Each structure stands twice: as C-alpha cells, then as structure tokens.
C-alpha cells in the first residue's frame, strides 16, 4: 500500500466508522498492525474464551501469537488435525466462546460486511454465534458499494483462499471463479451483514495496511 493510498484511507476511515455505527456496530482505526494488535488485546478481557474460523488478518497482526502467550482460554481449531474433532470444536466455538475473531472478504464504504464460506462455521458465528465478534479488517478490503464488496469476495478472495487451502476447485486452477458446483466449493454460503440487531456485538478494527485476502 502506497503512502498516498494510506493518506486517502485516513480521510475515508472516519466515514466508514460512522457508517458502521449507524448499523449498530462499533469500530476503530489503527494506523499500523502494532496499533491494531494493541486495540484487539484491549478489547478482549483476560480469561475470555476465544475462537476463530480461520482469519489471516488476525494472524498477520500477531493476534494469535499474543493470545497463545496470554491469559486466555483458546478454542484453536488450527491445532487439531482430526476432522471430526475439528468439526466438534467448530460447533463448540459457535455456541460457547466469548469472543469470535474474523475478518471480512469485502466491506462497503457505507458499512456493509460481505463474507463467503465453504463450511459456514465462520458466517454462522458472525450471524448468530458468540456474544462478541471482533473483525480485523485491512483497508484494502473496503470498496465503494455492497455490490463491489460481493464481487471482491466472490471473484478475488474466494479463488485466493481456495488456493491457500489447497482445494481442487476450478477457481484454484484457473485463478478466477467458474460458478462451480464442485464438492469442495468454497462459495457455499454468502453472508451480508447490513445491521447488527445487538448493539455493539460486532466490533471492527480497520487497519491502514494490506491484510488478508
């Protein structure tokens, strides 16, 4: 991200935060990954149970490492290799963790969040799961409209994530969406979050860096 892009983000971010507030969500703006990490740790009380569904952005700011070294009860699916146990823990996270960490695949300037999922554990947790959802979002994911956010999620983030997970989908091979019905399809569930009925349940930390996919 160039310095001019960062300058533009500093002007845009307060408008995005205001838009999120109007949608019953709260938000902060961090200039760096280090600032974002400090904000995230300040947001999560010690001894809280914390889970996630796969969140590169949180990993990139060092949040997972900090949590593993701190006084938290982690529900870490990444530490499990057995598929059945991993699935069991995903349901446990959905129903019993205090804080769920995530990002977004795309966000509009007026505060709409768009996420695409394969197994749906992540979108289920965002929509109707833990009492607290903490989203770490690089400003690279903020686009003009809800439609642009969907296109970013579907046609940019999904193929990259399919490759990241080593899937055998057409988008992983072609580098672009093929509107497939492959058994490993990563675009099974699409969640558009336009309002949080529970005020402040979703908290977004916008970061003035390129994060995630």
CATH of the domain at 77: 3.40.50.10420
What's the number of CA atoms in the CB half-sphere (13 Å) around residue 135? 32
Residue 177 lies in a domain: yes
Is 78 within a domain?
yes
Separation of CA 81 from chain center = 22
> Does residue 104 contact residue 115 with C-beta atoms inside 8 Å?
yes
* H/E segment holding residue 204: strand 202-207
Q: Is 32 among the domain residues?
A: yes
Q: What is the pLDDT of residues 138-195, one digit of tens each?
A: 999 999 999 999 999 999 999 999 999 899 999 999 999 999 999 999 999 999 999 9
What mean pLDDT is predicted for residues 30-48? 98
Q: How many domains does the chain have?
A: 1
Q: 212 lies in a domain?
A: no
171: three-class secondary structure by DSSP: helix
Mean pLDDT of 15-44: 98
Average pLDDT, the chain: 96
- At 69-99, the pLDDT tens digits run 999 999 998 888 898 999 999 999 999 999 9
Give residue 35's region: left, alpha or beta (phi > 0; psi -120 to 50).
Answer: alpha
Quote the domain boundaries for residue 105: 3-207
Which pTM value belongs to this model? Answer: 0.95
Question: Is the pLDDT confidence value at 123 over 90?
Answer: yes
Once rounded to an integer, what is the mean pLDDT over residues 39-44? 98
Kindly tell me the sign of the dihedral angle through the C-alpha atoms of 59, 104, 130, 53. Answer: negative
Percent of the chain at pLDDT exceeding 70: 100
Q: Which residues contact 113 (CB under 8 A, 6 or more apart)?
A: 104, 106, 107, 126, 135, 149, 191, 192, 193, 194, 202
Res 24 pLDDT > 90 = yes
**Please, what sign has the CA dihedral across residues 95, 100, 104, 108?**
positive
Separation of alpha carbons 56 and 9, rounded Å: 21
Assess if residue 213 is contained within a domain.
no
């Amino acid at each position: 991200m160039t310095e001019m892009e960062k300058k533009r983000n500093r002007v845009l971010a307060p408008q995005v935060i205001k838009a999120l507030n109007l949608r019953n969500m709260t938000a902060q703006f961090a200039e760096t990954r280090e600032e974002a990490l400090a904000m995230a740790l300040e947001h999560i009380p010690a001894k809280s149970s914390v889970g996630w569904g796969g969140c590169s952005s949180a990993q990139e700011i060092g949040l997972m490492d900090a949590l593993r070294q701190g006084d938290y009860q982690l529900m870490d699916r990444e530490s499990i290799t057995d598929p059945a146990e991993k699935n069991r823990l995903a349901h446990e996270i959905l129903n019993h963790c205090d804080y769920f960490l995530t990002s977004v695949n795309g966000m509009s300037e007026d505060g709409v969040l768009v996420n695409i999922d394969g197994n749906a554990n992540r979108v289920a947790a965002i929509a109707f799961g833990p009492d607290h959802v903490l989203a770490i979002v690089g400003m690279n994911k903020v686009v003009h409209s809800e439609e642009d956010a969907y296109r970013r999620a579907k046609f940019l983030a999904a193929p990259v994530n399919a490759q990241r997970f080593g899937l055998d989908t057409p988008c992983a091979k072609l580098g672009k969406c093929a509107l497939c019905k492959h058994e490993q399809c990563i675009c099974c569930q699409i969640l558009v979050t336009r309002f949080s009925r529970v005020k402040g349940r979703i908290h977004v930390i916008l970061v003035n860096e390129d994060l995630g996919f």
